[in-house]
Amino acid sequence: MKRLVGCIDRGLRVACDSLRKVGQYVKDLHAVDGTLTPRDEASGEEREAQFVSLREHWQSSTDAVHQQFAAVMSSFQAGLFVGGKAADRPADNLDLERWFKHPKSHERRIHGRCHAGVRIVQQGPTLMLALDAHVHHDGLFTVDDLAPYCHARVPDCQQQALNRGKIMRRARSRKKCNDLLADLERRYFDSS
């Protein structure tokens, strides 16, 4: 045991500087997380300004890890602070992810796989409301609860997504791929 303790101590002495740097990087990541987490006292514009300030500071740094942080922040910035002050819309991408959490977990339980699948993407406009309904409604649904939706129609965007999914399924098939290409060429020439 004494030899093992000696090996651990020597290893910690060798890695001491690296561990201090890692500790500082963790604090830096907490600072980024602080700009992303909505708080009552800071508006979205203030959080975005803090985010941009951190990114610009790290872009000018000579530390390669800070430059990598800045590069990742630049690539994500476009979608992080999108949204508005409207109550029915997510404030930013993270809020959007929180909103998708319940339907995605429900969808995973349905088919037993780790991913949520393309069903949420293709049937999203109507499926998300159905999968998320239990969060906002206590108890069982009655006929009176569902009656207003009896004449609801599938939105055009959902129908288009389903059609694109059918085309992609045909494109992945070795047997149907050639027929699909011929059909798409014919449709292209007919439209011109």
Whether residue 167 has pLDDT greater than 80 = yes
For 92-143, the DSSP string reads SHHHHHHHHHHHHHHHHHHH--SS--SHHHHSHHHHHHHHHHHHH--S---H
pTM greater than the 0.75 cutoff: no
Percent of the chain residues past pLDDT 90, beyond the cut: 10
Quick check: 56 pLDDT over 90? yes
pLDDT in tens, 73-95: 888 887 777 655 554 666 666 77
